Amino acid sequence: FASVLAHELSHSLVAARNAVPIDRITLFVFGGVAQMGRDVDLPRTELKMAAAGPLASYILAICFGSLAYLADVLGMGTLNLGLVWLALVNVGLGTFNLIPGFPLDGGRILRSFLWQHTGDLERSTRSAARAGMGLGLLLMAGGAALIVADLFSQEGAVLVSGLWFLFIGAFLYSAASSGYRQARLRSRTAGLRVADLYRPGVPAVDFSTSL
């Protein structure tokens, strides 16, 4: 969780340098998320913010790997094992987040490139979100296949992995779909004012009127 927090803090620091406020960082079972106070208005800002997280994870992996090597040289086997696992966790965290499916960092990087090329944020978000939803479906299918294979083998070796892929796939599919709906809503209402949607003269009745 400290590694995930460092990953999300790197997003936040780059966001702060680009005048994008971060309201909070939330850690949960699948990772973490830095909640922005407003939308990013330039594709290059999105690119820098998205790339910062995986970069921080890879830097942590190098640091833990170097410490693991030092522990191994000094004959500290138990410490070496823990540091190796931390290095591997950060490599996995950085690599998984680089998968080009929104709302993962790789999906945001993909969206920034599409946004830079087309100039259309909604269309770019739709393409990146579809990639994220497709990835979610693939993970769910893979998880279901592992569960079925485990049922036939009756060894229980891949049941947990299958369930994990199933949950991550469902979460990613839901997040990608929700992220696109939110982006579409923001783009459709960006030029509107309250007065554009306000309807005056709402009917009212007296408090004493019988229902």
Structural contact between residues 5 and 27, judged by C-beta atoms closer than 8 angstroms: yes
Whole-angstrom distance, CA of residue 152 vs CA of residue 198? 61
* Residue showing tokens 């579409």: 184
- Confirm whether 8 is a catalytic residue: yes
* Cα 28 from chain centroid (whole Å): 12
The token duo for 88 is 């591997």
The token duo for 118 is 């087309």
Tell me the CA distances in angstroms from 134 to 5, 145, 181, one per residue in order: 27, 16, 16
Tell me the sheet residues that pair with 33. Answer: 26
Could you list the active site residues? 8
